[in-house]
Amino acid sequence: MRSAMAASEAPKGVRRGTFRRVVSFARPHRAKLIVFLLLTVVSSVLAVSTPVLAGRVVDAIVGGRDVGVVVWLAVAIAGIAVVDAGLGLVERWQSSRIGEGLIFDLRRAVFEHVQKMPVAFFTRTRTGALVSRLNNDVIGAQRAFTSTLSGVVTNVIQLGLSLGVMFTLSWQVTALALVLLPVFLLPARRMGSRMADLQREASTLNAGMTTQMTERFSAPGATLVKLFGRPRAEVEEFSARAARVRDIGIRTAMATRWFMTSLTLVSALAQALVYGLGGYLALTGHLAAGTVVSLALLLTRLYTPLTALANARVDVMTALVSFERVFEVLDLKPMVDESPNAVRVPEGPVSVEFDDVRFGYPAADRVSLASLESVATLDSRGGEEVLHGISFRAEAGQLVALVGSSGAGKSTIASLVPRLYDVDQGAVRLSGVDVRDLEFASLRGAVGVVTQDGHLFHDTVRANLTYPRPEATEEELWDALERARLRPLVESLPDGLDTVVGERGYRLSGGERQRLTIARLLLAKPRVVILDEATAHLDSESEAAVQAALTEALHGRTALVIAHRLSTVRAADQILVVEAGEVVERGTHAELLAADGRYADLYRTQFDEAPTAV
């Protein structure tokens, strides 16, 4: 353990301080650790007692003592074996509680931390690589506490006790047995770093395979592969990664086997030395025959822990690599965080105000990790300003539309209201309160968003509907579906509200998915609604149904609507024309047509007619 800790401070292998962070993470479980250590001490004492009693049995037999002495010694050995077996079970249960409890804490901490990351983190990160951190790496770290910790503590105590007893029996034989000890230490130091490097490479490759499977096994990914006819290339790419993992596994297994075989051979040689010197001392009258037997049996209690501890260093190093990869995610600070003095959104209707807002998407090194993107170094680009002094106000109950060319910054503006990102300069306010000063829960409850690709989980209609409001009643669910023009469809489904919609809702049509997301928004009852091209990819019939549902959703609410189809925003209280991150025009539909500017150009392009006031 000391050598593992020293390695954790070295520049190669694992990062400095990883071992100390693992210890600090285990601190809440110290009471269980103390009980576990006490059990381990008792178990180790019993393990060392057996060879001593066995030696006394031999002495009793050689000395021709009473049969009763031999029987009682045999009963004592049997009793120790039974107690030791019971302690072993309790000890294993306790170590499992410690390991599983710590891993639960670690996994929960990572999941909770990832939930706090900005959207930019998820747009850059490979999903499979992130999932791998929570699965493969956490399981790798788990082994350190469910097996390695138990083995290290047990073997250290047993090693100390065995050495102490052996020295009391014969210091000469014990010293000879320790002559080969350096052979254990030298390969252990080299193996630890090597195994850590192999473990890190295997973890990276496993993350790559998980990413490929996650993307290709999804409905859109599988469709893309089939449409462009590359399944063979996909198999080849996956096979290359899997082959590398296989090769690393073989190298790891063989290196470990060579290592363990060498240590076992050294142990056997040491035992031969003990029998040779011990036998000589017994024949010359310097040792009893039973003492030689005790020394030989204790030698197994000496070199078996040494072998296990030498191998434990390898296990500790590989576990530290797993911990390091998990800590790497935990060390990535969220860019969007809740203020310690956060307040709730004011009661009543909500206004939305942008006050000289300037914003640039963050550079990769602020929101991501190279290992999660499968690149050697992070992209240094980013940080350029994309919104330049955006200012407008949507009064409570008003509908403000954002129109303009693709990439002009409309969706970026909308993303700042629910704090998917934070502004660089200026402020976004809800009812006069900066969104950065609002509680996350209150902000989520006040702002509802419907995107052009409304996301649904692979779950039931009911679960997707109640995601923002788990406490919603059956009556409220059906009312939301009715207002979203979706009730007849849900009633016709085989299991009604309990029908599974499939991954991303792909068992429903585009219009049905969109109306279900609108029903979810209606159930959430937000006071501010953001529609990001909610009808962009729908046919005319679906668009009409969705528009009817949107009319219901927008009624009495402050709305920010992004639209390419200008016909859908004619009735807006204010239309903002956004180009290159700036508001270049603003006004009503009629006012903007009369101004014959950029809006009029967009209108003519869509409808191929001269601008007339409508």
Q: To which H or E segment does residue 568 belong? A: none
258 three-state secondary structure? helix
pLDDT block averages, 10 residues each, the chain of length 614? 37 60 77 82 80 76 72 84 86 79 81 82 76 75 65 76 79 73 62 66 73 69 63 77 82 75 72 75 75 75 70 70 81 85 91 93 76 66 82 91 88 91 92 92 88 79 87 88 84 86 77 83 87 66 67 80 80 90 91 89 72 46
> What is the pLDDT at residue 611?
46
CA dihedral 539, 543, 546, 550 (to 10 degrees): 150
**Alpha carbons within 13 A on the beta-carbon side of 6:** 6
Tokens 């005790």 locate to: 294
The answer to whether 432 touches 346, Cβ cutoff 8 Å, is yes
The answer to whether 188 touches 3, Cβ cutoff 8 Å, is yes
Separation of alpha carbons 162 and 69, rounded Å: 25
**Alpha carbons within 13 A on the beta-carbon side of 281:** 21
Q: Retrieve residue 221's tokens.
A: 């990914």
The answer to whether 609 touches 566, Cβ cutoff 8 Å, is no
Separation of alpha carbons 409 and 417, rounded Å: 14
> What is the pLDDT at residue 183?
64
Separation of alpha carbons 515 and 521, rounded Å: 10
428 three-state secondary structure? strand
Annotated domain spans of the chain = 2-8+16-330, 352-371+383-457+524-538+546-607
Q: In degrees rounded to 5, what are phi and psi of residue 429?
A: -125, 145
> What is the pLDDT at residue 146?
61
> What is the pLDDT at residue 186?
62
Q: Residue ranges of the alpha helices (H) in 468-576?
A: 474-483, 487-492, 510-524, 540-554
Domain 2-8+16-330: CATH superfamily, name plus number: ABC transporter type 1, transmembrane domain (1.20.1560.10)
> What is the pLDDT at residue 457?
83
CATH code assigned to 352-371+383-457+524-538+546-607: 3.40.50.300
> What is the pLDDT at residue 428?
95
Please count the other Cβ atoms lying within 10 Å of the Cβ belonging to residue 256.
15
The answer to whether 322 touches 13, Cβ cutoff 8 Å, is no
Which DSSP string corresponds to 203-246?
A: HHHHHHHHHHHHHHTSHHHHHHHHHTT-HHHHHHHHHHHHHHHH
> What is the pLDDT at residue 224?
62
Between CA 537 and CA 545, with CA 539 as vertex, the angle to 5 degrees is 100
